[in-house]
Amino acid sequence: MEIATCVLQIVNMFLEPITRQLGYLFKCGEKVEELRNENERLKVQIPDLEANIEAVERSGKAATGEAQQWFNRALENWNVKQMK
């Protein structure tokens, strides 16, 4: 009985990660579409963030480092994708 319990625990331990990985494999197209949608959503935010940064700078303040870093990464990614 103890052996069966141990085997069952081991199977249960590995079942969830294996199921998750198989889900990625079988839902690949869906995941790619989700990434495309998220990319488009973030792309639309670039001009808004740029306007916010400019407004903050006009008021004599500085944009947060996090906002500036996100904006710079977004612009770099956008420029790389436009070149392809």
Tens digits of pLDDT across the chain (84 residues): 688 898 899 988 999 999 989 988 888 899 899 989 988 888 888 888 888 888 888 998 887 888 888 888 888 877 756 555
Q: What is the pTM of this model?
A: 0.52
Give me the number of domains the chain comprises.
1
Q: Please give the residue range of the domain that contains residue 10.
A: 2-83
User: Are the CB atoms for 27 and 56 separated by under 8 Å?
Assistant: no
Report how far residue 16's alpha carbon sits from residue 22's, in angstroms, rounded to the nearest whole number. Answer: 10
